[in-house]
Chains A and B, each alone.
Chain A
Amino acid sequence: MSLENDPDGWFDRDVDWEKLKAILVFMVPGLTLFAIFSVYPMVYSVGGSFWVWDAFDPMHFVGLDIWVETFQDEAVINWDNIKELEYPMGALPQNLIWMVIHVPLSTFLGLGLALLFSDLRGRRILRSMVFLAFTTPTVVIGLVLLFVYDPQAGIFNELLRTIGLEGQVRNWLQEPQLSMYALILGGVWVQTGFSMLLYSSALAGIDPSLLESARVDGASRYRRFRDIIWPLVKPVTAVVVIMGMIWVLRIFAIVYAAGGPSGGPNGVYSVLGLEVYQSAFSHPIEYGRAMVVALVELFIALPMAYYIARMD
């Protein structure tokens, strides 16, 4: 971390009230809003998770009771189904499964597309075509997936019919054991554009003459990738993976739009965000439980935050 940005002390020579006042004038307006609407509610959730709530009002302190209850809740973790490897497994494992499948797929696809497009004419247009879904509202993405997987009007099923798999035609978002993967595929569709964009900019920084001389020296494609390209795009991979994980952790609108607030039939593709929303804002209101689930999300995000801070 480089927080000493003024090594020569030019700005520090006048440690005075004038400077301190200026810093305050600059920072107080924004930090006030940041404190009230971001920091305070986070602290509120941490504290509130140890209380019993009557709807939106804290009643009394109960320690870890709500934490224990939440982890025994089948909607959060369903141990029996996990043993059978059957959905619904609960929002927490499902969210993690989403991450484990989604992140590598979107990362490698993004790298692949970045390499494929890297020196083609019109690569800007090609990249924009792939990136477009990422600028689309996620709620629209969810509805688009609903449309794509529709048994009648959906193009995915039409594709199956065309290649002679009529027997496989179904509503892919109503199949308890399959719909998770159908949605993950949709998530990968969206996020590949993002990782492709980051990889493209990293690839643009590679000196073409380096690759050219390696080629002249007879290095194979694989060798050129491994020895020249990969070391240069490796740092980007870390960023792509972290942003992908945060993206999956925050997934909400896609699932809500595709399967309603319950996350599909029986919650087979419910995720942590939906679980928080359900507990906090639909009857019966369980504010404490919502806070616990949201904090579980935070715990998963903290190592990523730490990594971002270390990168600096």
Chain B
Amino acid sequence: MTDTPHTDGAAESETGSSRTDGGTRVRYDVPDTAPTDDRDLSTRLVDSLPSAPRAARYAIAIGIALLWLVPLIGLFMASVRPLSEIIQGWWTFENLTITFENYEQAWNYESGPMRQALVNTAIVTIPAVLAVTLLGTMIAYPFARFDFPLKTFLFFLLIIVMAAPPELVAMGNYNTLQDTGLFDTYMGLILVHIGWGMGWVVMFLRNYLLGLPKELEEAARVDGASRYQIFKSIVLPYSAPALVSVAVIQFTWVWNSFFFPLVFMRSQENKLAPQVLPLMKGRLQIDWGLVAAGSVLTMIVPVLLFIVLQRYYKKGMVAAVAD
């Protein structure tokens, strides 16, 4: 674990990798004529290769990153191979058979088919995320801009919910949903997710809005815009990046969440995808292929979302906790 690797000045500047993460970028003036390089090709190649200690660091870094992926690679391999081969070890490649039978089985799994479970997960996740993002912004805006009675009290409540375990609200919500007939319904679970996500969403957006300059809003106010117009045409558009971050992170959490569906969704046709996975283990010999295929189907959505919207995801993760 080293901090600066600049042990190889010449090669470094050739490869241009001396730029450090987020650091200042050096601008070069563009010369009129192309620079003449008096070195021949082989010297240039050798120079552009990283020096030995740096190469070792690359090797270690790539090795560790791959090591981190091994369990997930194993999961993927198991999902496309028959059980007899998985038992021999997914890392062996003699008589490799690629099959989609596991996916077919998971898709039609009798005590909770994935085709239904994934749809259920989407039905719960999408409205829950959209609602908490919109309602959370609406709370965060006055929080960041105005003073009102009980503000400090509310602030502490939101933070306590941020840190509290979800089990703490399970019993009360169970009875509430039973009493209102919302138990074992999409709507019930959606409402629980909205209420529970509000804590961190409001805190996150409040911090973001505090960092936005007020001048625009003030100018619009002077021009006679109503507070609702200001919210709609200034606050919402300007906080778009933060809203995307919140939505992406909240989507991953709600999609992946296991405890709330386990408690509030009981009938087979209402089960969410994460809930079905432990059932796939079966009794005696675990059908690894089935479990793996179900797992891949469940995780594919949040993982793709992460890969596509990585920038927002990472920014949000860092900002959510680090400011």
A residues apposed to B, CB below 8 Å: 1-6, 10-12, 18-20, 22-23, 25-27, 29-31, 33-45, 48, 56, 112-113, 115-121, 123-126, 128-133, 135-140, 142-148, 150, 152-153, 155, 158, 189, 192-194, 197-198, 200-205, 207-209, 211-212, 215, 221, 224-225, 229, 235-236, 239, 242-243, 246, 249-250, 252-253, 256-257, 260, 272-273, 276-277, 280-281, 287, 290-291, 293-295, 297-298, 301-302, 304-305, 308-309, 312
| Given A133-B68, A147-B292, A253-B274: A120 in contact with B58 (beta carbons within 8 A) | yes
| A290: B residues at CB distance < 8 A | 167, 170-171
Which residues in chain B, 262-308, are within 8 Å of chain A measured between CB atoms?
A: 262-263, 274, 277-278, 281, 286, 288, 291-292, 295, 298-299, 302-303, 306-307
Q: How far is the CA of A23 from the CA of B231 in the complex (A)?
A: 11
User: Could you name 21 residue pairs across A and B whose Cβ atoms are closer than 8 Å?
Assistant: A5-B147, A6-B145, A6-B146, A10-B214, A22-B142, A26-B141, A34-B158, A36-B176, A37-B196, A42-B169, A45-B171, A113-B64, A116-B2, A119-B4, A130-B64, A155-B74, A201-B322, A221-B3, A224-B4, A253-B259, A305-B162
Taking residues whose C-beta sits less than 8 angstroms from the other chain, chain B's interface range is: 35 or more
Convert B45-76 into 0s and 1s, putting 1 for each residue whose CB lies closer than 8 angstroms to a CB of A: 00000000000011011101110111110110
Say whether, besides A120-B58, A221-B3, A224-B3, A128 and B258 are in contact (CB < 8 Å): no
**Residue on A nearest B20 in the bound complex, by CB:** A208
A116 touches B61 (CB 8 A): yes
From B2, B21, B68, contact of A203 by CB (8 A): B21
Most buried by A among B64, B158, B168, B214: B168
Given A136-B302, A153-B87, A212-B4, does the pair A250, B166 have CB atoms closer than 8 Å?
A: yes
Q: How far is the CA of A180 from the CA of B192 in the complex (A)?
A: 31
Question: Given A33-B198, A143-B295, does the pair A294, B167 have CB atoms closer than 8 Å?
Answer: yes
Most buried by B among A120, A142, A193, A207: A120
Given contacts A30-B136, A252-B167, 8 further A-B contacts (CB under 8 A): A25-B228, A29-B135, A40-B172, A136-B72, A212-B6, A281-B263, A294-B170, A305-B163
Chain A's closest residue to B292 (CB) is A147
Q: Report Cα–Cα, A293/B148, bound state, in Å.
A: 35
Quick one: closest B residue to A256, CB to CB? B278
Which of B142, B281, B303 neighbours the largest number of chain A CB atoms within 10 Å of its CB?
Answer: B142
Once the chains bind, are B75 and A147 in contact (CB under 8 Å)? yes
Contact A153 B288 (CB under 8 A): yes
- Pair B21/A204 contact, Cβ less than 8 Å: yes
B23 interfacial by beta-carbon distance below 8 Å: yes
Residues on the B chain within 8 Å of A38, using CB: 161, 169, 195-196, 198-199
- Is A297's CB under 8 angstroms from B157's CB? no
Query: In the complex, what's the smallest C-beta–C-beta distance from B51 to chain A, in angstroms?
Result: 13
Determine the distance from Cα of A79 to Cα of B317 in the docked complex, in whole angstroms: 39
The docked-state distance in angstroms from the alpha carbon of A202 to that of B178 is 47
Q: Chain A residue with minimal CB distance to B201?
A: A30
Q: Are A115 and B1 in contact (CB under 8 A)?
A: yes
Are B72 and A133 closer than 8 Å at their CB atoms? yes
Using A139-B277, A239-B321, A243-B321 as known contacts, say yes or no to A277 and B259 having CB atoms under 8 A apart: yes
Chain A residue nearest to B209 (CB atoms) is A5
B320 to chain A, nearest CB (A): 9
Once bound together, how far apart are the Cα atoms of A269 and B229, in whole Å? 54
B14 within 8 A of A: no
Of A5, A236, A298, A309, which one neighbours B156 at CB under 8 angstroms? A309
Which residues of A lie under 8 Å from residue B3 when comparing CB positions?
A: 115, 118, 211, 221, 224-225, 229
Chain B residues near A205: list those with CB within 8 A. 22
**Chain B residues positioned under 8 Å from A193 (CB to CB):** 68
Minimum C-beta distance from A16 to chain B (A) = 12
The 8 Å CB contact of B159, one of A4, A11, A19, A309, is A309
Residue in A3, A123, A138, A308 whose CB lies within 8 Å of B152:
A3
What is the bound-complex CA distance between A202 and B317, given in angstroms?
A: 13
Question: In the complex, how many angstroms separate the beta carbon of B23 from the nearest chain A beta carbon?
Answer: 4
Contact pattern, B 14-33, Cβ under 8 Å of A = 1, otherwise 0:
01010011111000000000
Closest CB in chain A relative to B182 CB, distance in Å: 11
Asked if B155 is at the interface (CB within 8 A of a chain A CB), the reply is yes
A116 in contact with B64 (CB, 8 Å):
yes
Selected from B60, B196, B277, B298, the residue in CB contact (under 8 A) with A116 is B60
Interfacial chain A residues near B207, Cβ < 8 Å: 312
Q: Which residues of A contact B65 (CB under 8 A)?
A: 125-126, 129-130
A123 and B2 form a contact (CB under 8 A): no
Q: Report chain A residues within 8 Å CB of B155.
A: 1, 3, 309
The CA of A23 and the CA of B288, in the complex, are separated in Å by 54
Indicate if the CB atoms of A137 and B176 lie closer than 8 Å.
no
Residues of A within 8 A of B322 (CB): 198, 201-202, 235-236, 239
Q: How far is the CA of A143 from the CA of B281 in the complex (A)?
A: 9
Bound-complex Cα distance A152 to B15 (A): 46
Chain A's closest residue to B278 (CB) is A257
Q: Is the CB of A135 within 8 A of B252?
A: yes
> What residues of chain B lie closer than 8 Å to A120, measured between beta carbons?
17, 57-58, 61
Residues of chain A with a CB closer than 8 A to B146's CB = 6, 11-12, 19, 23
Specify the chain B residue showing the minimal Cβ separation from A108: B1
A36, B68: Cβ atoms closer than 8 Å? no
Q: Shortest Cβ distance from B204 into chain A, in angstroms?
A: 12
Is A144 a contact of B71 with CB atoms below 8 Å?
yes
Interface mask (B122-136 → A, CB under 8 Å = 1, otherwise 0): 000000000000011
